[in-house]
Amino acid sequence: MFIADIRKEFYEVVANQRVALLVAADIDALCACKILQALFHCDQVQYTLVPVTGWQDLGTAFLEHKEQFRYFVLINCGANVDLLEMLQPDDDSIFFICDTHRPVDVVNVYNDTQIKLLIKQDDDLGVPTYDDIFRDEDDEEGGDSGNESDEGSEPSGKRRRFDEGAVERRIERQRAKREWEARRREILFDYEQYEYHGTSAAMMFFELAWVLTKDTKDMLWWAVIGLTDQWVHDKITHMKYVTDIATMQRHVSRHNHRNEDEENSLSIDCMRISFEYDLRLTLYQHWSLYESICNSCYTSCHFKLWTLNGQKKLQEFLADMGLPLKQVRQKFNSMDMSIKENLREVIEESSNKYGMKDIRIQTFGVHFGFKNRFLASDMVHATAALLESTEKDESDSDNFIKALDSLSRSNLDRLHSGIDQAKKKLIAVQQTVASCICTNLILSQGPFLYCYLMEGTPDVKLFSKPMALTLLCKYLLKAFVHSTRNKRCKLLPLIMAAPKDVEKGTVIVVGIPPESETSDKKNFFGRAFEKAAESTSSRTLHDHFDTSSK
């Protein structure tokens, strides 16, 4: 069931209990987890944090902890399957689920006792009504026990005598029941057909903190990062992003206003969050402007930087802005102040000429003390790189902890190492995109496009992780749409596969919806993959919480 009052029905319930926190491996989940941890520290709630990377993991984590815990909080996992069916928990285990995955499984929605959904009902959920999908079995059974007994089954112990019209009515009812079942299948099909994402989990928990009047700037920043993660990884529509940014902006100005007097002056340990209308150039403040332009999806696709022509165009573009190459190629931090001063306007002006009308985007930035400034998207890229790090052979949970740490402002070193890894990852993505386009690796398979990264492709190990592969997939599709002349291909979805574990010979597959400005970001690959696996009887594991990757 949906929880109406998150404070009374969730926080006050778990406040005096020991809680198991099961957290999925995405940035929004990490941020949500940070906020909840901060609240739990505040109120001295005991909890155990368990990172989970997939359904299997979730099952194991539950088995390991079900004896010691009654309350489980699931962050960004669990909403889109019948959780009780999957975990087979005891009757007294209670699950609080804060998950952006949609559609929410109907059984989760209508279970009143064990499943508590921390999901905003005003999110566009479209859950079928109870009566459309559930029906009191007794209604029908009652009729059958009348006079005829089912072939070969034991006669009923008690029988009610119906009035005279009962037989005809029963036939009528059976017909109605069949119709109802057909309609139910249709409704459920429509409801479960596409998967998409709802309001950020971090924002949900920030709202909880706010309701408890325990919200801090750190929490606010995490909520911003959670939302930005949804934008960077293309999980929500632009419309939804802008709306939620506005919500966050209200909180930001409230906080800035509250601390106006004491903190207006910068101090060494201050933290200042500000709304920015900033450039869509990835990590540019921690890179050189040139490298950022080359490795940002937006600019690289527009210039088609994988072509010679594109490279030329880039030079023209830089010339148009009147930025000396020497300045552009050096670290952003070391650029002349005079250039940096109105850099954003200069870039915007030239971009407009080159058809990049939306090079700027509403976002937030943060200052830690004097020196460190980050955009929300910087944080997302850095943390994501740490979370899916393949540099050393560390376990998933080590990476998880590192990524979680990088979100604390006391751990700037870790954050910087994350930024370094993120740069490498972005370069790898760009190079892979370029090579896939140049060597025509994207095949049109009729209703969809398909690309398989061969074993031995450079950086292929990086793309054995779901977030990285999804990011690559999205960049690749965008680049493909810009480079192909085939109009039909622009409307096709893309399926991408990469080797997951070379030794075991497994492959990871993701599917993404067609690329278009008006895309509703709804993904039908979840169901399609299930069907495909069924019809080819391949051995598959639909493990990822996004059903569209496995």
Partner 1 sequence: MSAANDIGDRLTQFKNKGKDVNELRRRRAEVNVELRKAKKDDQILKRRNVQSLLDEPTSPLQEKDPNAQPPQHWSVEEIVGGVNSQTLDHQLQATQAARRLLSREKHPPIDCIIAAGLIKKFVSFLAWSECPPIQFEAAWALTNIASGTSDQTTAVVEGGAIPAFISLVTSPHPHISEQAIWALGNIAGDGSNYRDLVIKHGGLQPLLALLAAPDLSVFPSGYLRNVTWTLSNLCRNKNPAPPLTAVEQLLPALVRLLHYNDREILADTCWAVSYLTDGSNERIEVVVQAGLVPRLVQLLGCEELSIVTPALRSLGNIVTGTDEQTQCVLNAGALVMFTRLLCHDKPNIQKEAAWAVSNITAGKDTQIQEVINAGLVPILVEVLKQGDYKTQKEAVWAVTNYTSGGTLAQVAYLVQCNVLEPLLNLLTAKDSKILLVILDAVYNILQMTCKAGDIDKLCLMIEELGGLDKIEALQSHDNEAVYKSSLNIIDRFFSEENEDESVVPEATEESYTFEIPEDQSTFQF
- Note the residues at the interface with partner 1 (CB under 8 A): 84-85, 88, 91, 107, 110-114, 130, 134, 136-137, 139, 142-143, 149, 151-163, 165-166, 168-170, 172-173
When the beta carbons of 163 and 262 are compared against partner 1, the nearer one is 163
Q: What's the Cα-to-Cα distance from 11 to each of 41, 75, 134, rounded to whole Å? A: 13, 15, 30
**CB 115, min distance to partner 1, A:** 9
Sort 480 into a burial class: Cβ within 10 Å, 0-12 / 13-18 / 19+.
buried
CA distance 477 to 448: 11
Q: What is the dihedral of CA 484, 486, 488, 492, to 10 degrees?
A: -30
CA distance 524 to 276: 34
**CB 87, min distance to partner 1, A:** 11
What backbone torsions phi and psi does residue 99 show, to the nearest 5 degrees?
-140, 135
When the beta carbons of 91 and 393 are compared against partner 1, the nearer one is 91
**CB 281, min distance to partner 1, A:** 51
**CB 264, min distance to partner 1, A:** 53
When the beta carbons of 122 and 148 are compared against partner 1, the nearer one is 148
Helices 217-232 and 376-387, axial angle in degrees (round to 10): 70
**CB 3, min distance to partner 1, A:** 15
CA distance 97 to 21: 10
Pull the structure tokens for residue 527. Answer: 């169901």
CA distance 450 to 495: 5
**CB 139, min distance to partner 1, A:** 6
218, 140 in Cβ contact below 8 A? Answer: no
Nearest CA to 87 out of 115, 122, 59, 67 is that of 59
When the beta carbons of 3 and 23 are compared against partner 1, the nearer one is 3
Determine the Cα angle at 433 with ends 429 and 434, to 5°.
120
When the beta carbons of 156 and 259 are compared against partner 1, the nearer one is 156
Pull the structure tokens for residue 198. Answer: 């709802």
**CB 8, min distance to partner 1, A:** 20
When the beta carbons of 1 and 211 are compared against partner 1, the nearer one is 1
When the beta carbons of 70 and 367 are compared against partner 1, the nearer one is 70
